Amino acid sequence: MTEIIRGRLLAKNILEKTKARLPAPPPGRTTPANPPGLGVILIGADPASTLYVKLKTQAAKEVGLYVEIVNFDKSVDQKLVLTKIAEWNLRTDINGILVQFPVPKEFDGDLLVKAIHPNKDVDGFHPENRAALLNGKANLVPPVALAIMRLIQATHLPLTNKHALIISKSTVFAEPLIELMKEAGLVGSRISPRSATLKPQAQSADLIVVAVGKAGFLTKELVKPGAIIIDVGTNRENGKVVGDTAPDAAALAAFISPVPGGVGPLTVAYLVLNVIRAQEKQTNQLK
């Protein structure tokens, strides 16, 4: 019988421990005197992006972080967005900066990420942070990669030399995850969802991370009985939020992360933790 990996419970535990890392509030206050600060940029009014920003900022505020949100109209000049990032880079009360993706097609997403100071890049997408992780000198690691690894570790199964297959079009998504997998003893690799060798590779995988963005993409023909499935997909089907895994594939797995309630809440929790880690690093650099 398939066991569900409860991401919400794991996220709650991480957020509680994260809150405990903050200094105690001064008398008469409920928040620390100098709380970690998070700056969030949202461009446009995409409903999904707006919801994700709400979930991230709500969790941050509940832990005790200071949050500043700037919602630009999608017609804004990119220079104004870059100016705001530059301002936050210089401010000591803003320790973490994130740009909510996807951004409208008129914007250069790579340029926006590169504009964020690496020590404030709490999404872990900056080229310097990606390179640091691959070189064994991690600075800020992508929260989604941390979330996936936490879900995998929650199975308490032996991981050494197990084959993990990441089904995704994105190397930016897969690279940090493969590195974390290697540290955990897993042999990780990425494959395109359109690859001609997807079926034999998936059938031999002990663990599958599926991030395709297509409901029902992962079918039972692609899953080895007893495998672990970590579902990163978020899709709407018949008015419900579902992942990329078909019910018949989920039934074959030993463990699976649900959608919703799996990767999403944990990613938010690790984002909040990254803001605190960023503040701690910045404080130590000033000493």
- The CATH number of whichever domain residue 78 belongs to comes to 3.40.50.10860
Same domain, 186 and 89: no
Residues with Cβ within 8 Å of 23's Cβ and at least 6 positions away in sequence, in order, are 32, 33, 34
pLDDT tens, position by position, 67-88: 999 999 999 999 999 999 999 9
Same domain, 153 and 254: yes
Split at pLDDT 50, 70, 90, the class of 283 is confident
Same domain, 251 and 158: yes
43 vs 49: CA distance, rounded Å: 9
Let me know if 136 is exposed, middle or buried by CB neighbors in 10 A (0-12, 13-18, 19+): exposed
Q: In which domain, by residue range, is 189 found?
A: 143-264
Q: What is the pLDDT of residue 235?
A: 94
Would 8 be classed as within a structural domain?
A: no
Same domain, 105 and 36: yes
User: Any idea what the CATH number is for the domain that residue 242 is in?
Assistant: 3.40.50.720
Rounded to whole angstroms, what are the CA distances from 150 to 4, 120, 230? 14, 23, 11
Total-model pTM: 0.95
Q: The tokens of 185 are what?
A: 């003893």
Q: What is the pLDDT of residue 286?
A: 64
Q: Return the SS3 of 61.
A: helix
> Which value, to the nearest 10 degrees, does the dihedral of the CA atoms of residues 122, 35, 54, 147 take?
40
Residue 287 has pLDDT above 70, yes or no: no
Same domain, 112 and 162: no
Same domain, 180 and 250: yes
138 vs 132: CA distance, rounded Å: 5
229 vs 207: CA distance, rounded Å: 6
pLDDT tens, position by position, 107-139: 999 999 999 999 999 999 999 999 999 999 999
The per-residue b/e assignment along 116-126, b for 16 or more CB within 10 angstroms, e otherwise, is: bbbbbbbbbbb
Could you give the number of structural domains in the chain? 2
Residue 155 has pLDDT above 70, yes or no: yes
Would 277 be classed as within a structural domain?
A: no
Same domain, 104 and 158: no
Strand partners, 38: 67, 96
pLDDT tens, position by position, 20-56: 988 777 887 777 778 999 999 999 999 989 999 999 9
* Average pLDDT of the segment spanning 275-284: 93
Q: What is the pLDDT of residue 26?
A: 80
Split at pLDDT 50, 70, 90, the class of 273 is very high
Q: The tokens of 132 are what?
A: 């640091």
How much of the chain exceeds pLDDT 90, in percent? Answer: 92
Same domain, 151 and 87: no
Q: The tokens of 57 are what?
A: 């900022």
